[in-house]
Amino acid sequence: MRKHSVKSAAIVGASLLVLAACGSNKTEGGGTNGGSCDTSKGTLTVGVVAPLSGNLSALGVGIKQSAELAVDEANKKCTVPGFKLTVSAQDDEANPAKGAQAATKLSTDPNVVGVVGTLNSSVAQTVQPILRDKKIPMVSPANTNPSLTRGNDFLTAPKRQFDNYFRVCTTDDLQGPYAANYLVEKAGKKKIAIITDGKTYGEGLAAELSKQVTKKGGTIVGSEKVGEKDTDFSGVIAKIKALGPEAVYYGGEYPVAGPLSKQMKDNGLDVPLMGGDGIFDPKFIELGGKEGDLATSVGAPTESLATAKAFVDAYKAKFGKEDYAAYGAFSYDATNAIIGGLAKTLEGGAAWDESKRDGMLTNVGAFSGSGATGEIKFDQYGDSTNKVLTVYQVTSAKWKDVQTGTFTG
């Protein structure tokens, strides 16, 4: 037993050294003197759980690197006195089972103070309870399914689900209806066909959109499902084409949406495809997204926000490219919420131990500040109070914002 604990202490120690080494390398790379802060009390870790490989890796890598940027800046500014912060990024491959493994790995590390993630709502469902059991705050930059914070009856009887779970983006019960309003009222598309991939995110989003379309006097002419690994959609397309839709709404992500849009056009169904934040990525256009296709995404366009400019500049300086993708700015804000909560918890030079976890949850929940996406603040369910949404359209092979606002009914 004794031998065992010595061994694990050695491993923890060794990994801390490695982490510290990585961290200091990065600071040197940034060209600033990272040694000016007091880091005598050791190293604390911000976990990241996101898809770093697989189809959604463009989004996941943006999340990871933006979190690294926030941590780097905090280290330079000595935001958490006495400690050095590092990022430990775990790959969930957009797969709930892999997400659970990643969460378990992070939750067994006593130095993990909080977790940024996940990208997918379906992965969040398995990660939430694992981190709650260890009282580790989880701040998602991208989960938009409303039931994650407010339960399945989120409209009629909202109830806080996990006291460790927060998110900095808005939710599908606003995103879906916002898209519906745009389609029916602004674009004048009354007959909408729906295709989903059957996952938590896509199903929820499409369900919220359907309700609002009907409410605004449009009709849902048909509803179909495609497999996440399907590649030939001609059968589904022929079926909905016969129903004469004026637009197709896809509940899912860009690896399917891009080819689907191209095949729609190839098969003579040349109507716009619209989707949620899951298709809002340059890869969508590369994979076949066509001119006039639409997407909603959470927040205002990153490039247009005054508060985001500093983030974009710093990101570009650190990584050379602006590949922060759809959720980079949100991930940066989520990480800052965790760091802010941590700074508050350790105020006055306290040391980090397990007893701080309760205070940490409270402080992350009470965090407020102005971030790259606007105001960061959480309501009583853990949802962001920032409910801005934007409609984008593919114009000259680029996403261009056409309308920014909040859902007002």
Partner 1 sequence: MSVLFQQLANGVIQGALIALIALGYTMVYGIIQLINFAHGEVFMVASYGGLATFTLLPDDLKKSPAVALPLMFVGGIVVAVIVAVIMERFAYRPLRNAPRLAPLITALGVSVFLQEAVRVFYPNAKSNLPYPKVFPEGNLTIGSVNISWTGILLVALSVGLAVILQTYINRSRMGRAMRATAQDPDTAKLMGVNPDRVIVLTFVIGAVLAGVAGIMFGGYLNNINIDMGFQNGIFAFTAAVLGGVGSIRGAVIGAFIIGLIKTVAGQYMPGGTQYDYVWIFVVLILVLVFRPQGLFGEPERVRA
Nearer to partner 1, 123 or 338 (CB): 123
Chain residues that interact with partner 1, rule: CB under 8 A: 53-58, 198, 224-227, 229-232, 234-236, 238-239, 241-242, 255, 258-259, 262-263, 266-268, 283, 286-288
DSSP 287-304: TT--TT-EEEEESS-GGG
The letter for the amino acid at 287 is L
Residue 307: CB minimum distance to partner 1, A: 30
Minimum separation from the CB atom of position 100 to partner 1 (A): 21
Instruction: Give min distance, CB of 261 to partner 1, in A.
Output: 10
- Rounded least distance, CB 48 to partner 1, Å: 17
φ/ψ (deg, to 5) at 186: -80, -45
Q: Which is nearer to partner 1, 185 or 286 (CB)?
A: 286
95-104 own/partner pairs: CB under 8 Å, 24+ apart? 95/54, 95/123, 96/120, 96/122, 96/123, 96/125, 96/126, 97/126, 98/123, 99/49, 99/123, 99/124, 99/126, 99/127, 100/126, 100/127, 100/130, 102/49, 102/127, 103/49, 103/127, 103/130, 103/131, 104/130
Beta strands 138-140 and 112-117 are parallel
User: Is the CB of 214 or the CB of 263 nearer to partner 1?
Assistant: 263
Decide whether 37 or 220 has the Cβ nearer to partner 1. 220
The minimum distance between CB 236 and partner 1, in angstroms, equals: 5
DSSP strands (E only) in 176-258: 191-196, 219-225, 247-251
Nearest to 65 by CA among 329, 284, 370, 384: 329
Judged by beta carbon, residue 118 or residue 212, the one nearer partner 1 is: 118
Cβ closest to partner 1, residue 49 vs residue 312: 49
Write down the least CB distance from residue 359 to partner 1, Å: 39
Residue 50 or 74 having the CB closest to partner 1: 50
| 386 in Cβ contact with 377 (< 8 Å) | yes
Tokens coding 199 = 């996952």
Strands across the sheet containing 398-406? 219-225, 191-196, 247-251, 273-275, 294-298, 388-395, 398-406
SS3 397: coil
Beta strands in 226-342 (DSSP E): 247-251, 273-275, 294-298
Tell me whether residue 115 or residue 269 sits nearer to partner 1 (CB atom).
269
Q: Measure CA 233 to chain center.
A: 28
Task: Closer to partner 1 by CB, 195 or 213: give it.
Answer: 195
Question: Taking the complex as a whole, how short is the minimal distance between the CB of residue 51 and partner 1, in angstroms?
Answer: 9
Distance CA 113, CA 109 (A): 9
Q: Which is nearer to partner 1, 93 or 173 (CB)?
A: 93
Does the N-terminal peptide bond of residue 126 adopt cis geometry, omega within 30 degrees of 0? no
Query: What is the closest distance, in whole angstroms, from the C-beta atom of residue 235 to partner 1 in the complex?
Result: 4
SS3 at position 326: coil
What's the rounded Cα separation, in Å, for the pair 260 and 163?
Answer: 39
Least distance in angstroms from the C-beta of 53 to partner 1: 5
Q: How far is the CB of 346 from partner 1 (least distance, A)?
A: 38
